[in-house]
Amino acid sequence: MARILVTEKIADPGLDRLREAGHSVDVQLGLSPEQLVEAVPGAAALIIRSATQVTDEVLAAGSDLVMVGRAGIGLDNVDVAAATKRGVMVVNAPQSNTLSAAEHTMAMLLALARNVPQACAALRQGRWERSQWNGVELADKTLGVIGLGRIGTLVAQRAMAFGMKLVAYDPFVSAERARQLNVELLELDDLLQRSDFVTLHLARTPETVGLLDADRLAKARPGLRIVNVARGGIIVEQDLADAVRSGHVAGAALDVFASEPTTESPLFELDNVIVTPHLGASTTEAQDKAGDVIADMVLLALAGDFVPFAVNVEAAEVPTTVRPFLGLADELGRIFAGLVGANAPHVEIELCGQIAEHDTRLLALSAQKGFFGAITGQPVSYVNAPQIAEQQGIEVRAISCTEAVDYLSRITISGGGRSVSGALVGLKQMPKVVGVDDHTVDISVGAHMLVIHNSDVPGRIGFVGGVLGEAKVNIEDMNVGKDPSGEGSLMVVTTTQATPAKVVEVLRTGDGIESVQSIG
């Protein structure tokens, strides 16, 4: 059971699932930065939304943190680099609020085109100002979409239904993908010159902060209207206010601001600027999805499993074909640690056969996770495994070869004169050890194993079985491994419990027994 600290409002169903899994959910809303530093020690997971600032100081205080989970998309309130350095996984819920954000963008777009909030406010104040708030149609207007990711694509599809012409700026989108969406790709300055409306759908990064400043706005088409339901700071608010005040920009609709929460901005003084307090994800559906997704990610992270939405793991996605091998790679890393200890100056992870046709980076990380977790005795994750390798002074090399060797797919970990190989065997894809050192074996992966090198003489199997039986250590499985010459000079034994150290010593004293290693 782990303690999970929740500092912002998360939908109850997600939190209930964490409690049902046996974890302690500690909800402390509205913490100041100082209070957060005091509250985070002892927490294995920290769940936040957009208001909590997860700084290096917070991460340093949270020495037990396995992960930080953001119930939403943006991560500009999390020091991801500091989290990675400290081995803390950072996870978001990238698909939870895409539809809500896209719909809010369309609401802002329509409100901006027809001056809905201004006319509503005037009428409530007793003024019938029908002529003052004359609007424009969306049909036949050009919408420039800056950022054609999930949300940008949804907005483009909906704008098309209004008869708008679509152009976009996104250096990561191919021309073929744009063609499928019926969108023309342009450079950013060209987009601003061609568009009647512009909508932003970018993450806030050092490259995007201040992207639309005074110089760029000056190059835009006169009468442009701008919508931002993405992230504050991408538009320089004072520069936008100046452009609106001068009439060069006809209006703007913003849901996000450089500093949040805020009740002050030069834009708030302008009648033809519409503002909302970061409502893009504020729907019941989005809140429920975000809570459910982040609960799933927390459960996976605390169990040491693959977390698909981890943003600071070298390979945050894993192909379906590769996924079943993650557990095997982890177990082989653990077994290899039992063989070689921390004495290997380097570790080589060889991934052969069909799996090598896919992205195998996470398999290599999984093998490191098992290996370094066993030799250090400390929590090792997909995030901190490479850092622990560096700290231990052990070079890790991953090699892929598409040629199948004995099995359709095989993982081999070697170094320090030792090696272990594994594969998934049969229709049920059972994880098996298929090689130890230069010997061929065939035995199921076990939590407790003995690897015994011996002379190929009669009686060695009986001796090992007798010693274990006398000590009441139950043998689950045993396999004799053959070396390239065909001699059976290695035994691998799985047992239902760990073999006591004194029993291992008795085995080592047997005639013809060259070495005994207990794993698990």
Distance CA 307, CA 296 (A): 9
In the 8-state DSSP scheme, what is residue 310? Answer: B
* Complete edge-to-edge strand list for the sheet that includes strand 142-146: 184-185, 165-169, 142-146, 197-200, 224-228, 249-254, 273-275
Distance CA 430, CA 449 (A): 17
For the question of residue 476 being annotated catalytic, the response is no
Distance CA 88, CA 91 (A): 10
Q: What is the largest CA-CA distance in the chain?
A: 105
- H or E element at residue 409: strand 409-415
Residue 402 CA, distance from chain mean position: 27
Q: What is the 3-state secondary structure (H, E, C) of 194-241?
A: HCCEEEECCCCCCCCCCCECHHHHHCCCCCEEEEECCCCCCECHHHHH
Contact 45, 65 (CB under 8 A): yes
Q: Name which of 301, 316, 378, 299 is nearest 66 in CA terms.
A: 301
Cα radius of gyration rounded to whole Å, the chain: 30
Distance CA 297, CA 235 (A): 32
CB neighbours (10 Å) of residue 352? 22
Residue 257 half-sphere exposure toward CB, CA atoms < 13 A: 20
| Integer angstrom CA distances of residue 290 from 104, 229, 273, 310, 312 | 17, 18, 30, 14, 19
> Annotated catalytic residue: which of 231, 358, 410, 453?
231
Strand boundaries in 93-200, DSSP class E: 142-146, 165-169, 184-185, 197-200
Distance CA 237, CA 76 (A): 18
Residue 134 corresponds to which tokens in the numbers above? 């004359």
Distance CA 166, CA 143 (A): 5
Residue 259 CA, distance from chain mean position: 26
| Integer angstrom CA distances of residue 291 from 92, 255, 280, 510 | 11, 22, 16, 59
> Annotated catalytic residue: which of 57, 260, 314, 348?
260
Tokens 């594969």 sit on residue: 423
For the question of residue 278 being annotated catalytic, the response is yes
For the question of residue 260 being annotated catalytic, the response is yes
> Annotated catalytic residue: which of 204, 278, 361, 439?
278
Residues with catalytic function: 231, 260, 278
